[in-house]
């Protein structure tokens, strides 16, 4: 969603609603929660006067839409919503181990042996 809106995803370690930025003071916050006036007011209280914020969400109260000049709120397009995973705590990857090479099927057979090493492994010097 950040990329779609022209933002670089880079979550702030301390402020949850600063999930990405397009400029030094222009941020994006993406949530699947229903955004209420109370929620919006809380975020606005935490913002500095020169900061701006784009909030992308599944839905919001109508009165939120033009409540603050420095906060823009919009719905996440259904096209993008269907391609994203939300609310997952485990993003384990399905990693498949490659089969181990057996002695005869490894790449060793494709390597050329150094002629000076052939026949010398079992002889004493």
52 assigned to some structural domain: yes
63-69's contacts with Cβ under 8 Å and 24+ in sequence apart are 63/37, 64/35, 64/36, 64/37, 64/40, 67/37, 67/40, 68/40, 68/44
**The model's pTM:** 0.64
Domain assignment present for residue 86? The answer is: no
- Domain membership of residue 107 (yes or no) is no
pLDDT tens profile 2-21: 888 899 999 999 999 999 99
Q: Is residue 3 part of a domain?
A: no
User: Between 107 and 38, whose confidence is greater?
Assistant: 38
In a domain, 112, yes or no: no
- Asked if residue 46 belongs to a domain, the reply is yes
Q: Within a domain: residue 116? A: no
Domains held by the chain: number: 1
Is residue 106's pLDDT more than 50?
A: no
**Which range of residues forms the domain containing residue 64?**
8-77
Residue 113 lies in a domain: no
Residue 4, pLDDT score:
82
């Amino acid at each position: 969603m950040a990329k779609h809106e022209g933002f670089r995803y880079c979550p702030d370690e301390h402020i949850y609603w600063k999930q990405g930025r397009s400029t030094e003071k222009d941020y994006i916050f993406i949530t699947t929660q229903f955004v209420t006036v109370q929620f919006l007011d809380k975020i606005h209280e935490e913002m500095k006067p020169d900061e701006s914020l784009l909030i992308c969400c599944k839905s919001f109260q109508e009165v939120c839409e033009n409540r603050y000049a420095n906060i823009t709120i919009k719905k996440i397009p259904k096209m993008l919503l269907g391609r994203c995973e939300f609310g997952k705590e485990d993003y384990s990857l399905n990693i498949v181990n490659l089969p181990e090479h057996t002695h005869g099927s490894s790449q060793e057979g494709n390597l050329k042996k150094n002629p000076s090493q052939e026949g010398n492994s079992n002889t004493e010097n």
